[in-house]
Amino acid sequence: MIRRLNAADVGHLCTGAMFVACTIDHESSKQYRDMTLALIELKGGGPVLAPVGSLDPAAMTTSIGFVNQGLMFSEMIPVGDEFETAIALLQERLGVPLQGVFPLAAASVNAMVAVSVALRTGLPLVDADPMGRVFPLVSQTTLALAGLSAGPIALTGPTGETAVVDVFAPARAERIVRALASELGGWAATASYPVTAAQLGAHGVVGSITRLIEIGQILDSSLHTQQKYVRLTSLLGIRKVIRARVTDVEGLSRPSVPGLPDRPSSATLVDEAQGRIVRLEIQNEILMMIVDGAIQAVMPDVITMVRPEDASVAGLDDLWVGNKLDLITFPAAAQWYTAAGRALVEPMAMNVVGPARGGRAR
């Protein structure tokens, strides 16, 4: 059902977007939330949220998202029209008008950017995305899994420089866009994966914006923490909640695997209830959770953290020694658990996910 998002929806969407992507920087999400709320107030209404099925199947849509390399965009703040420029360039290259935008990842700041862009351009925000969570690479999308092209891709840098890249293979697009982002000034506002509504409906993660809003509604409610977990379990299929205290953080202690953005680090926590040793492997986000040496969750599983006292969303900067956190894992979109999906998103974890996930050999 097509509906117009209000201020409360945007707030919940932001909470949900931060929850499913435990990154080091939630400030950017909040910044875009506040910008969007101010714009809603100015315009007297929010953006239109359109289910995929409500669009003409042949209607062309595009994903919206930041791609950064090295410099966080909070350190070189966008002027505001970067995405409008990129969308205009993409329409020009495609030769057809775009009739909807969707986030490159329905998580973190890119989920909020899409809302803001929809509001600014007046295009509908399509209730879908190609990740269902956030992955670090532009090529790690369900649309790429389906063999669809990532290009052409239009980019706008922080200084207003633009580029349009005619590229087909998503893996190649990732390398080129990442290199361009570096050259453009540390980040680029991109419009990529131009697909029809029919293609997005068939191969995207459908309903992901609505799900983020529902997560936010639960987390922002006045329910007790445990009641929130019960609701989230019902909504997301949460597999595990471990309350643990941080005992050690190792940062940048090893080289990154080639081709991945660099921020490798580890955090060690001790389970409050049973004394189990929990280890989080972090590379921009939490890649893997190991409990007493056994892998409990690994990409594409979503691993995130909340604060035990009120189930508010925590970030990687909450991983300071002595802090107590609730670690939560739940499955990602079903497409990621196919063999092709795992191969695309498990590059570093593949070597360690063996058949033995616990239980001593006899």
Q: Tell me: does residue 208 bind other proteins (CB under 8 A).
A: no
Q: Tell me: does residue 94 bind other proteins (CB under 8 A).
A: no
Q: Tell me: does residue 294 bind other proteins (CB under 8 A).
A: yes
Helices (H), the chain: 7-19, 27-43, 82-94, 108-121, 142-145, 170-184, 197-203, 208-219, 225-236, 339-345
**Binding segment toward other proteins, per CB under 8 A, in 16-24, 137-145, 187-195, 266-274:** 266-274
- State how far the alpha carbon of 167 is from the alpha carbons of 111, 150, 164, 281, in Å: 24, 7, 9, 33
Task: State which residue, 227 or 247, has the beta carbon closest to other proteins.
Answer: 247
Minimum gap (Å) between residue 356 Cβ and other proteins: 5
Cβ-based neighbours of 97, under 8 Å, separated by 6 or more: 60, 91
CA-CA-CA-CA torsion sign (344, 139, 203, 145)? negative
Single residue of 177, 197, 290, 332 touching other proteins by CB under 8 A: 290
- Using DSSP's 3-state secondary structure scheme, residue 58 falls into coil
Task: State which residue, 290 or 306, has the beta carbon closest to other proteins.
Answer: 290
CA angle 178, 127, 56 (to 5 degrees): 100
Site for other proteins in 336-355 (CB under 8 A): 351-352, 354-355
Task: State which residue, 254 or 339, has the beta carbon closest to other proteins.
Answer: 254
**Binding segment toward other proteins, per CB under 8 A, in 21-29, 163-171, 246-254, 328-336:** 246-254
Single residue of 270, 271, 307, 347 touching other proteins by CB under 8 A: 270
- Using DSSP's 3-state secondary structure scheme, residue 39 falls into helix
Closest by CA to 101, choosing from 128, 79, 81, is 128
Q: Tell me: does residue 277 bind other proteins (CB under 8 A).
A: yes
Q: Tell me: does residue 262 bind other proteins (CB under 8 A).
A: no
Q: Tell me: does residue 87 bind other proteins (CB under 8 A).
A: no
Single residue of 1, 44, 222, 360 touching other proteins by CB under 8 A: 360
**Binding segment toward other proteins, per CB under 8 A, in 37-45, 123-131, 176-184, 277-285:** 277-285
Single residue of 253, 273, 320, 339 touching other proteins by CB under 8 A: 253
Cα–Cα distance measured from residue 46 to residue 50, given in angstroms and rounded to the nearest whole number = 12
Minimum gap (Å) between residue 294 Cβ and other proteins: 5
Q: Tell me: does residue 316 bind other proteins (CB under 8 A).
A: no
- State how far the alpha carbon of 256 is from the alpha carbons of 246, 263, 282, 357, in Å: 23, 7, 11, 25
Minimum gap (Å) between residue 346 Cβ and other proteins: 13
**Residues 125, 47 contacting (CB under 8 angstroms):** yes
Q: Tell me: does residue 322 bind other proteins (CB under 8 A).
A: no
- State how far the alpha carbon of 34 is from the alpha carbons of 8, 27, 109, 115, 120, in Å: 12, 10, 12, 11, 14
Cα–Cα distance measured from residue 137 to residue 181, given in angstroms and rounded to the nearest whole number = 13
Name the residues that contact other proteins, by CB under 8 A. 247-248, 250, 253-255, 264, 266, 268, 270, 277, 279, 281, 288, 290, 292-295, 351-352, 354-356, 359-361
